[in-house]
Structure 1
Amino acid sequence: MATGDRNDPFRGHNFRLEIDGITLAGFTEVSGLDIDGDAVDYREGNDPVNWTRKLPALRKQTNIMLKRGITSNTELWEWHRAIAEGDPDRRDGAVILMNEAREDVGRWNFRAAWPNKITGPQLNATGTEVAVESLELCHEGLEIDFGS
């Protein structure tokens, strides 16, 4: 007996990062694709005793955290240095999720982003792990687009 079309969830290992429409680099991890908000308690004088309303207040987004293996590409470090020297170089971008056929299926579009923190790798002469750096992007808005 048929139960309808199967709608499997997408896997979290096929993704890429674009900044200003250019695919910058492959990353091994992305986190911080959240939006949060505060609630304000409010009570009018004619509301029942001991009863408050919850009203939406300021919305805020978490910084996007990215991790990747180090390569000879220093573009992210140069962008970070420009920000640190006072250049207001804010860029729009997206984290793009792909299906198993490597076709785009969804995007988290962010705007006015800038690198707040870059962390170099932990190095160990007895290890065999890939040298990994992390990047923290501050941004001013996140929108999801799964195209419908």
Structure 2
Amino acid sequence: MEEVHDNLWPLPQFYFIVKFSSHDDMGSFQEVSGLETEIPVSESQKDNNQAFKTFKIPEIGQVGRITLKRGVFVKSNHFLKWYDTFKTNIIQREILTLQLVNEKGELAMAWTLLNAWPTKISGLDLRFDVTDVAVDILELAYEGLTVS
């Protein structure tokens, strides 16, 4: 029979904080996916060099889209204005910082998204009497990614 121990370590509870560089507004999300960059490689043949049939050349780097899930922006007038521009099909790019923090609020890792804008927002919970915005899914396109 397997023995049960009371001194098992609990799993750490991490969450993500989203900060706008242009405003003090911030939100928090439980899940983030798609933080990736890729540098495609093309192959080329150089003249009649028999030693190397082809050689590889790095192309321009590409970034994907990130998806943030199950979040809330607290007292976030700026996020609501950003959402309004999204609804009217006007692209307003923002520099965003994503911070991975533990249950004590200590920073574990951070990413900066350059020129980010929303491409998909779903599951919004908007109420007229509060400025807190609950978001089920927020998908962002961005033009650059740095890790700090």
Q: Compute the TM-score of the two structures, normalised by the length of structure 1.
A: 0.70
SS of the counterpart of 1:25?
Answer: strand
Distance, in Å, in 2 between the alignment partners of 1:47 and 1:12 is 56
Query: What is residue 120 of structure 1 aligned with on the other side?
Result: 123
Task: Give the alignment's Cα RMSD to 1 decimal.
Answer: 2.9
Q: How far is the alpha carbon of 1:102 from its aligned partner?
A: 2.0
Q: Does 1:111 align with 2:114?
A: yes
Residue 27 of structure 1 is aligned with which of 15, 20, 29? 29
SS of the counterpart of 1:83?
Answer: helix
Contact 1:61 1:142 in 2 (8 A): yes
Q: How far is the alpha carbon of 1:54 from its aligned partner?
A: 1.1
Q: How far is the alpha carbon of 1:103 from its aligned partner?
A: 2.0
Change (3 A) 1:139 1:41: same
Q: Deviations over 1:79-99 (max 9, x none)?
A: 233134243321101111224
In the alignment, residue 138 of structure 1 is paired with which amino acid?
Answer: A
Runs of 4+ in 1 over 3 A off after TM superposition: 69-78
Q: Compute the TM-score of the two structures, normalised by the length of structure 2.
A: 0.70
Query: What is residue 101 of structure 2 aligned with on the other side?
Result: 98
Contact 2:25 2:76 in 1 (8 A): no
Q: How far is the alpha carbon of 1:37 from its aligned partner?
A: 2.2
